[in-house]
Amino acid sequence: MRDTLPLLDALSFPPIRRGRLEVLQVNLTYRRNQRCLHCHVNAGPTRTEAMTDGSLALLYQVIDAHPVQTLDLTGGAPEMHPRFRDLVLHARREGLRVIDRCNLTILSEPGFEGLAEFLAEQRVEVTASLPCYSRENVDRQRGDGVFEASIAGLRTLNALGYGDAASGLTLNLVYNPQGPSLPPAQGPLEADYKVHLADDFGVRFNHLLTITNQPIARFGSTLLSQGQFNDYMQLLRDSYRPENLDAVMCRNLVSVDWQGYLYDCDFNQMLELPMSLPGVIGRDRAHLGDLLEPLSLDANPIATRDHCYACTAGQGSSCGGPLKYR
């Protein structure tokens, strides 16, 4: 796979600084029961990286001591970490909103029986990736049979009340373009998804989150191989909107990798661009334990490169969808 980091300029993107920390986004494991072409994590079934019990113990301490509001669990497939349920239970007892970034097919994997019921019991928000409502497009991107298993997962969640406004069980879907283009407007595409999934499969959900593909990892490597990297980067730069800077997710989020190291966002984590933290001396990377120290993240500079244009192009993009919908 070809590395795009050397091609991402460190100087052209406008400088930005942190606000108040509200979200811990934790990458529990790079292991995943799928291998997707667009994946910025390079996750897959053969990956073995997973957060250790020692780092999890620190994470529990941070949750207990820090006024964060949301625990956002991602991977890989976060549910494949053996301590996933323990972590969810701890966070919910502390009153945190918990988001599970679920690939849907995990719900029908052997050994994960009762997972959907557990998520519903703990009132975990499910954010599930479904890049299209077409079987052909999904299976082309994610592998044969993935679409059918994803629909089965959605039906399982619907049966528990997910996707019903009155239930309070939130089920959001994630869309990302299949090629080097910006996602379409969120509103009309969400309406289109709802009609097709309801009419064709009897499936319902709350919102569709459109996300711009990052020019890194597998997607960035594919762009390089196909001679499209420079054109895509130019599209992102040309579509830049300065007003999006105020809402980018890195202002109020810290990304935690499986080793407990801290980053300004999940994309920087994959590029190994560490978060700067005043008071961290003698080390080149901040760690979970540093969040237990009396250090403020407010106004800290955020590590940026040209890939950040993906979050500020057009309607903006974040792990919560278009910036104006966050």
Structure tokens at 78: 């976060």
Residue 122 has a pLDDT of 99
Please report which residue ranges of the chain form alpha helices under DSSP H.
53-65, 84-93, 115-121, 135-142, 146-159, 186-201, 217-225, 229-238, 266-271, 309-312
All domains of the chain in start order, with CATH: 5-325 (3.20.20)
Residue 148 has a pLDDT of 93
Residue 217 has a pLDDT of 86
Measuring CA to CA, which residue among 149, 165, 52 is closest to residue 106? 149
Run means of pLDDT, 10 residues per run, the chain, 326 residues: 81 92 96 60 72 96 94 94 97 98 93 96 96 82 84 98 97 93 95 96 97 91 94 97 95 96 95 83 80 84 96 93 72
Residue 38 has a pLDDT of 52
Strand partners, 74: 27
Q: Round to whole Å and give the CA distance between 314 and 184.
A: 9
Residue 116 sits at φ, ψ, to 5 deg, of -60, -40
Residue 152 has a pLDDT of 96
User: Residue 13: which residues within 8 A CB-CB, separation 6 or more?
Assistant: 304, 305, 306, 308, 309
Residue 282 has a pLDDT of 58
User: Residue 136: which residues within 8 A CB-CB, separation 6 or more?
Assistant: none
